[in-house]
Amino acid sequence: MKKMVSHNKKLKEWVMKMARMCQPDGIVWIDGSDKQKAQLEKEAVTAGELIPLNQDKLPGCFLHRTNPNDVARTEHLTYICTKEKQAAGPNNNWMAPQAAYRKAKAIFKGSMKGRTMYVIPFSMGPVGSPFSKIGVELTDSRYVVLNMLIMTRAGESVLKQLNKTPEFTRCLHSIADLDINKRLILHFPEDNTIWSVGSGYGGNVLLGKKCLALRLASYMGEKEAWFAEHMLIMGIEEPNGHVEYIAAAFPSACGKTNLAMLIPPQGLKRKGYRIWTVGDDISWMRIDSDGSLWAINPEMGFFGVAPGTNMKSNPNMVTTIKKNTIYTNVLLKPDGTVWWEGSDEAAPASGIDWQGRPWKPGMKDSDGKPVSAAHANSRFTTPITQCPSISFRVDQHHGVPISAIVFGGRRQFLAPLVYESFNWQHGVFVGATMASERTAAQVGKLGEVRRDPMAMLPFCGYNMADYFRHWLKMGKKMAKAPKIFNVNWFRMDETGKFLWPGYTENLRVLEWVLDRCNNKVEAEKTPIGYIPKARDIDMTGLNLAAGALDKLLAVDKKDWREELKGVKEFFEQFKKDLPEELWQEYEALSERLSEK
Ligand code: OXD
Ligand code: MN
């Protein structure tokens, strides 16, 4: 057992109290050293929790398989536990704190018998930054420890920081017996506490990520006047060396990670742009002393979806994940490397699938459906420091200044390629009414629209009506607020073909966004916002079908009037809590759409 090094009395008392409940065989404090990491990897391999991959081709890489009933975030088992139900809002599952603690205690009791409890002190954001928050996760999973060492700044330096800034989020996790009927992901924002039990899947158990950095942090942000958002952060460097930063929110499966590290398209190469990646998933933003919005990425790694990652969708990620990466639920090839659907290589002749069964291309299950080699939500956990486009500002305590906020969703017919909101309040309305359509890959009615305001629906730790109010208030506090835009990479023609090629070409749209921020180009005023004049999107080297750009920029008033019905229904669920300003925006848009 490693000697306890903390002088934080509250921390020590809490660790011992949780240990009395969970009854581990021993307690190990995670110090963040290479030596301890190597020891944990060794133990995990011996215990069958990790499979070492081909160390010549994938040095430092391992494969992990989760229980097949435990492959994604379980939103229906995720709760916000506030004293008042109203504080959680209609967007969250709610449980009263006392009942939640009681229910979870029964599962945690003795759950770590025969295992070790690891104590992981971690910092979300650079250690010691005024933007950062500290958490301590107790877990009985080595897989969690090794992932947290990639995803966060963890270990001794954080423990030292806890002597100076003693506040921390108490995160407790046990895999228990991985029984889905005894799985709970509980958030207690009023106690700065997270309890997660019965799961071993990343989004449920790497408690620094969705649980702390979004759900609890969004609650803290409202109290302390900052933002915790489900946004990528990227820098765009012009040839003169000037870098401007964008924060962008998209619902899952809309290409956030790919956009965050894109390589400029051939046609724009002559302009000499470079992209710098600050983060791909979470952005914490504060108003700094200059009155503008500054953002940090609280994480240190990427927890990315493997299927579809290839040289076209994301060449920088292909490079990033070549070493020191933990793969979860992908196919194991006979040569000890890995494969997934939509990778650059053709399917191997054979392998071991994500459930540990022999696999061959063309295999069908008993219903005649193809057996997938990798799970559709298979992942890699990889250090951000290995990303070729990593920004030198990743460790800066005040982060980067944000020029534009970009929202987006997957809309086949409605939303134009890009539009700019009229002002901050209108921009908040644009974010609040964000929606995406289901794709063929998702369960449910094709084309059905799901509202996902600011891509935060599963991650907002309090009543979303108050969250919208917070956004409105923050706009008033900024001397120089970022401009707010909406993009849609997924618009289709009448035959169901995508009008826009997406991926690297999306930089052409971001170029317009920055031109607008710098007052370099005029725009067309429409009822929904400002859209580009076609000539202002640089199309050098990109041959779109005739008329495609016009179709991409078209605003169909009839479709938008139809859209308003869904918006109204969505807003009504918040009853009188919804800020009046959003109804004003709704009415104003409705009026603009009815004008001849
Ligand atoms: C993620 C998600 O894993 O948004 O980032 O689900
Ligand atoms: Mn995400």
**DSSP bridge pairs for 186:** 79, 195
Q: What is the DSSP string of 324-341?
A: S-EEES-EEPTTS-EE-T
CB 316 within 8 A of CB 388: yes
Distances (CA, A) of 418 to 1, 136, 290, 366: 56, 41, 29, 45
98 Cβ neighbours under 8 A, 6+ residues apart: none
Q: Is the CB–ligand 1 distance for residue 280 below 6 Å? A: no
Say if strands 301-305 and 78-80 run parallel, antiparallel, or are unpaired: unpaired
Closest atom of ligand 1 relative to the 202 alpha carbon: 3
Q: Is the CB–ligand 1 distance for residue 229 below 6 Å? A: no
Give the integer Cα–Cα distance in Å for 390 and 379: 20
Give the integer Cα–Cα distance in Å for 83 and 142: 34
Mutate to test the pocket of ligand 1, among 71, 73, 201 (most ligand atoms within 8 A of CB): 73
Higher pLDDT, 294 or 438: 294
- The H or E element spanning position 510 is helix 507-517
What pLDDT does 441 receive?
46
Give the integer Cα–Cα distance in Å for 208 and 189: 14
Nearest-ligand number for the alpha carbon of 231: 2
Q: Is the CB–ligand 1 distance for residue 252 below 6 Å? A: yes
Closest atom of ligand 1 relative to the 305 alpha carbon: 3
pLDDT tens, residue by residue, 306-315: 999 999 999 9
Going from the Cα of 281 to the center of ligand 2, the distance in angstroms, rounded, reads 5
The widest CA-to-CA distance across the chain, in whole angstroms, is 76
What pLDDT does 240 receive?
86
3-state per-residue secondary structure call for 519-566 = CCCCEEEECCEEEECHHHCCCCCCCCCCCHHHHHHCCCHHHHHHHHHH
User: How many residues are given for the chain?
Assistant: 596
What is the percentage of the chain residues whose pLDDT exceeds 90?
92
In the chain, count H helices and then E strands: 16, 31
CB 524 within 8 A of CB 452: no
pLDDT tens, residue by residue, 519-566: 999 999 999 999 999 999 999 999 999 899 999 999 999 999 999 999
Going from the Cα of 395 to the center of ligand 2, the distance in angstroms, rounded, reads 21
Q: Is the CB–ligand 1 distance for residue 49 below 6 Å? A: no
Going from the Cα of 210 to the center of ligand 2, the distance in angstroms, rounded, reads 8
Give the integer Cα–Cα distance in Å for 305 and 160: 34
**Residue of 120, 101, 131 whose CA lies nearest to 159:** 120
Nearest-ligand number for the alpha carbon of 232: 2
Q: How many CA atoms lie within 13 A of 238 on its CB side?
A: 10
What pLDDT does 444 receive?
52
Which position among 171, 254, 387, 460 bears the catalytic label? 254
What is the percentage of the chain residues whose pLDDT exceeds 70?
98
265 Cβ neighbours under 8 A, 6+ residues apart: 504, 505, 507, 508, 541, 542
Give the integer Cα–Cα distance in Å for 431 and 486: 8
Closest atom of ligand 1 relative to the 459 alpha carbon: 4
pLDDT tens, residue by residue, 129-164: 999 999 999 999 999 999 999 999 999 999 999 999
Neighbours of 440 (CB within 10 A): 6
Q: Is the CB–ligand 1 distance for residue 281 below 6 Å? A: yes
User: What is the arithmetic mean of pLDDT over 180-196?
Assistant: 97
Confidence of residue 448 (pLDDT cuts 50, 70, 90): confident
Mutate to test the pocket of ligand 1, among 201, 210, 457, 459 (most ligand atoms within 8 A of CB): 210
CB 284 within 8 A of CB 212: no
Confidence of residue 437 (pLDDT cuts 50, 70, 90): confident
Going from the Cα of 247 to the center of ligand 2, the distance in angstroms, rounded, reads 14
Going from the Cα of 519 to the center of ligand 1, the distance in angstroms, rounded, reads 34
Q: Answer whether residue 2 shows pLDDT above 60.
A: no
Q: Is the CB–ligand 1 distance for residue 54 below 6 Å? A: no
Q: Which residue is closest in CA terms to ligand 1's atom 3?
A: 203
Closest atom of ligand 1 relative to the 203 alpha carbon: 3
Distances (CA, A) of 276 to 237, 252, 318: 7, 22, 16
Q: What is the DSSP string of 219-253?
A: HHHHHHT-EEES-EEEEEE-TTS-EEEEEEE--TT
Q: Which residue is closest in CA terms to ligand 1's atom 2?
A: 252
Averaged pLDDT of the chain: 95
Exposure of 457 by Cβ count < 10 A (0-12 exposed, 13-18 middle, 19+ buried)? Answer: middle
Going from the Cα of 102 to the center of ligand 1, the distance in angstroms, rounded, reads 29
Going from the Cα of 24 to the center of ligand 2, the distance in angstroms, rounded, reads 32
Give the integer Cα–Cα distance in Å for 126 and 434: 31
Neighbours of 412 (CB within 10 A): 17
211 tagged catalytic? no
Which of the 8 DSSP states describes residue 280? S
Confidence of residue 3 (pLDDT cuts 50, 70, 90): low
User: What is the arithmetic mean of pLDDT over 336-346?
Assistant: 97
Q: Answer whether residue 6 shows pLDDT above 90.
A: no
Exposure of 563 by Cβ count < 10 A (0-12 exposed, 13-18 middle, 19+ buried)? Answer: buried
140 Cβ neighbours under 8 A, 6+ residues apart: 22, 24, 111, 112, 115, 116, 117, 118, 173, 174, 175
Q: What is the sign of the dihedral through the CA atoms of 555, 557, 561 and 562?
A: negative
What pLDDT does 270 receive?
86
Phi-psi region of 23 (alpha: psi -120 to 50; beta: other; left: phi over 0): left
User: What is the arithmetic mean of pLDDT over 296-319?
Assistant: 97
Mutate to test the pocket of ligand 1, among 66, 214, 281, 454 (most ligand atoms within 8 A of CB): 281
Give the integer Cα–Cα distance in Å for 555 and 267: 27
Mutate to test the pocket of ligand 1, among 207, 229, 252 (most ligand atoms within 8 A of CB): 252
Output 520-526 pairs: Cβ under 8 A, ≥24 positions apart. Answer: 523/420, 524/553, 526/419, 526/555
Confidence of residue 446 (pLDDT cuts 50, 70, 90): low
Q: Which residue is closest in CA terms to ligand 1's atom 5?
A: 281
User: What is the arithmetic mean of pLDDT over 501-512?
Assistant: 96
Q: Is the CB–ligand 1 distance for residue 253 below 6 Å? A: no
What pLDDT does 1 receive?
45
What pLDDT does 447 receive?
67
SS3 (DSSP) at 287 = strand
Q: Which residue is closest in CA terms to ligand 1's atom 6?
A: 252
What pLDDT does 286 receive?
98
> Which amino acid is it at 570?
F
What pLDDT does 239 receive?
81
Q: Answer whether residue 30 shows pLDDT above 60.
A: yes
- The H or E element spanning position 379 is strand 379-383
Nearest-ligand number for the alpha carbon of 381: 1
Q: Which residue is closest in CA terms to ligand 1's atom 4?
A: 252
Going from the Cα of 334 to the center of ligand 2, the distance in angstroms, rounded, reads 32
Q: What is the DSSP string of 115-147?
A: SEEEEEEEEESSTT-TT-EEEEEEES-HHHHHH
Going from the Cα of 104 to the center of ligand 2, the distance in angstroms, rounded, reads 26
Closest atom of ligand 1 relative to the 256 alpha carbon: 5
Confidence of residue 267 (pLDDT cuts 50, 70, 90): confident
Q: What six digits make up the tokens of 506?
A: 């999306």
